Structure 1
Amino acid sequence: MQEISKLREETALKTPEWKKFFNKNKQRLMKMDKEIEQLHHEISSEINCLECGNCCRSLGPMILEKDIDVLSRSLRMKPSDFMEKYLRKDEDGDFVFQSMPCPFLGSDNYCSVYENRPKACREYPHTDRMKFYQIYELTVKNASACPIAFGVLDRLTKL
C-alpha cells in the first residue's frame, strides 16, 4: 500500500514533468488509447485497491441522479431520504457525499454498496477510457491519491 502523503509528495514532484509531456505530446496522445489502456491493465494487476482505499477516503465522487436512484433503492430508502442523509451540493452544484471518507467504506476497505456504487466509482481511476488525452489533467490530479493513475502517467511519459 502506498501512503497517501508519500503519493502526494511524489505527484507534486512529477507534475511538472507530466504537464510538459502532455504539452509536447498532445497530438500523439490522441492516438495512444490502446497503449494507455494496456498500461492501465498492467498497473492495475500490480495493485490491490483493497490495500489502498485512498480514493474512497479522500476523493468525493460526483453522484448522478441515476446513482441516487440505484443507491436509494438498494438501501431501501426514498431518494429524498438518501439525499438528505448522505449528500450535499458542492461548489459546482454537483451532488457529492456530505463527508469523506465515503460513508460506505468499511474499515477493511470494502465497499458496502459495491454492486450498486456510483458511476464515478465504477470507472475510477478512468485510465482505461477512450480519449484519455481529454482527462489527462484529471489523471494528474488523481495521481496524488491513486497509485494506478500515478503509475500510468509515470510509465506513459517513458514511452
Structure 2
Amino acid sequence: MGEFLEDFGKLSKSSFAQHKKMLPKLKRVKSKELDQHFAKAHEEKFQYMDCLTCANCCKTTSPIFLQTDIERLAKVFRMKPSEFTDEYLFRDADGDFVLKSAPCPFLNSDNTCLVYEERPKACREYPHTNRKNMHGILNLTLRNTLVCPVVFEIFQDFEKDFRK
C-alpha cells in the first residue's frame, strides 16, 4: 500500500495542472447534470475501492471539526469540549478547528477509525463527490485529487467525458 500511495502522490501531483484546466469546463455543465455525473462516478468507483486499504485522507489531512463534532467526541472521551479542543485541535488560518497532527490520532494501525460511529461530519461526507451542488465545491474537489485516489480517478475519467 505504501508504494501505491507513493505512486499515487507523484501521479496526482503531475496531473494536477491538467485537472485544474478542466474546472472551467465543469463549471459550464448545468448544476443538476454535474451532480449526476459526480454521483454516478462516485458509485462506480466505490464499488471497487475500499477506503480501509488507503486511508490517505486520515493520514495526510484534517477534517474541519464543527462545534457539534467537538461536543460529540468530547463525550466519547469523557472530556469537556474545551479539553478535547486543547488536546487534539487548533484553529487554522480560516478560523476552523482542525487536528493538531497528522495522521489523525483516531486512526488505528489497520486503517479503521477509533471513533467511526461518532466521527466528524466532514469525515462522514468525504470525499464529497456524491453531494448536491458540486459547482460550489469544485475547487475543494480539485484539491482532493491530491488526497483521494477515487477523486483522482473521477477527474481522470471526466477528462475523457468533458473534452469539449
Return the TM-score normalized by structure 2.
Answer: 0.90
Conservation of the 8 A alpha-carbon contact between 1:89 and 1:95: yes
- In structure 2, what is the equivalent of residue 102 of structure 1? 104
Using the TM superposition, give the Cα deviation of residue 16 of structure 1 relative to its aligned residue in structure 2, in angstroms. Answer: 2.2
Q: Quickly say closer, same or farther: Cα 1:75–1:41, change in 2 above 3 A.
A: same
Conservation of the 8 A alpha-carbon contact between 2:16 and 2:146: no
| Runs of at least 5 residues in structure 1 that lack an aligned partner in the other structure | none
Conservation of the 8 A alpha-carbon contact between 1:60 and 1:96: yes
**Structure 1 residue corresponding to 2:121, chosen from 119, 122, 134:** 119
What is the RMSD of the two structures over their aligned residues, measured on CA atoms? Answer: 1.5
- In structure 1, what is the equivalent of residue 48 of structure 2? 46
Conservation of the 8 A alpha-carbon contact between 1:7 and 1:143: no
- Structure 2 distance, partners of 1:9, 1:140, is 15
SS of corresponding position for 1:62: coil
| Runs of at least 5 residues in structure 2 that lack an aligned partner in the other structure | none
Aligned length: 159
- Structure 2 distance, partners of 1:140, 1:3, is 20
- In structure 2, what is the equivalent of residue 7 of structure 1? 8
> Within 5 A, what are the aligned runs for 1:4-43?
4-28=5-29, 30=31, 31-43=33-45
Fraction of identical pairs, as percent:
42
- In structure 1, what is the equivalent of residue 151 of structure 2? 149
Using the TM superposition, give the Cα deviation of residue 29 of structure 1 relative to its aligned residue in structure 2, in angstroms. Answer: 5.3
- Structure 1 distance, partners of 2:30, 2:158, is 10
